[in-house]
Amino acid sequence: MAKKLILRVVKIGGNIIDDTRRLDAFLADLAALQGAKILVHGGGKLATRLAEKLGVPQTLIEGRRVTDAETLRIVTMVYGGLVNKQIVAKLYALGCPSIGVCGADGDLLRAHRRQHANIDYGWVGDIDAVNAPLLDRWLGQGLTPVVAPLSHDGAGQLLNTNADTIAQEIAQAMSPAFHVELIYSFEKSGVLLDVNDENSRIASLRPGQYQELKASGVITAGMIPKLDSAFSALKKGVRRVIIGQAEHLAQLVDGTAGTSIVW
């Protein structure tokens, strides 16, 4: 049996996308990273700014955007258009052949509209299937897929979809064929004991410690779904999960920075 290759699935958030200098530095590091890689990006504030200019009210619930029909048009234009294609163009300029896609392209991400007992999130999708063979073919051609946070339901409907979740689902889907490392890169140096102190980084985090820190209120808000996704990914075949600062991508890969999520 052939030895599995390493595949790194890297997710960047809006705080990096919104800062041109930080985004350019991150993409230079990504382009320099050897081996197979997939980039999943969030949307940043551009969609919110455009919605304000167009007079389309925006509602966020626990950091998740409620997506009505007008908002879906806006996020499709911004996430699947401007942000995605700018990243691809920048990667090509850095010598990193890439292909920019959303979940509807090649039936990459099939999803259903989110059902919630108390909240109508609108046109928001939860993923049912990832087209892993398609990603494998692109990787085999030496391309780096750049995935925008949009999926589709197979019946003609686009769906706004959380980028952390997309990264997790792609990492899990690719794990039978690769040794997958899932990297959540954002503005903090890792999981912090004190959110205001970058020096309070936790080098590694196990399930029991996570539950204790969550119960005591040390880990809260947006970090909880990220960590829930990380532990779930490990249970479903992902080899390694790292959370840390986008500026330290090379160090996240070699294990000298960020927080390693350990099962």
- How do residues 107-161 score in pLDDT, each as one tens digit? 999 999 998 888 899 999 999 999 999 999 999 999 999 999 999 999 999 999 9
- Which pLDDT belongs to residue 262? 87
Buried b (16+ CB within 10 A) or exposed e, 186-196: bebbbbbeeee
- Which pLDDT belongs to residue 2? 65
- How do residues 41-56 score in pLDDT, each as one tens digit? 998 788 989 999 999 9
59 pLDDT band (50/70/90 cuts)? confident
The strands making up 98-101's β-sheet, listed across from edge to edge, are 98-101, 144-147, 36-41, 5-12, 178-186, 240-245, 259-261, 204-205
**What mean pLDDT do residues 93-118 have?**
96
- Residue 151's alpha-carbon distances to 72, 74, 148, in angstroms, are 11, 15, 9
User: Which DSSP category does 106 fall into?
Assistant: G
- Residue 196's alpha-carbon distances to 71, 78, 110, 190, 193, in angstroms, are 33, 31, 38, 12, 9
* E strand spans, 24-136: 36-41, 60-61, 64-65, 98-101, 109-113, 125-130
Beta carbons of 257 and 251 less than 8 angstroms apart: yes
Beta carbons of 140 and 8 less than 8 angstroms apart: no
User: Which DSSP category does 13 fall into?
Assistant: -
- Which pLDDT belongs to residue 242? 96
- Which pLDDT belongs to residue 202? 94
- Which pLDDT belongs to residue 62? 67
- How do residues 162-220 score in pLDDT, each as one tens digit? 999 999 999 999 999 999 999 999 888 999 998 889 889 999 999 999 999 999 988 88
Domain map (residue ranges) of the chain: 5-261
Q: For the domain with range 5-261, which CATH number is right: 1.20.120.140, 3.30.230.10, 3.40.1160.10, 3.40.50.300?
A: 3.40.1160.10
Question: For residue 243, which of 253, 160, 235, 234 has the smallest C-alpha distance?
Answer: 253
237 pLDDT band (50/70/90 cuts)? very high
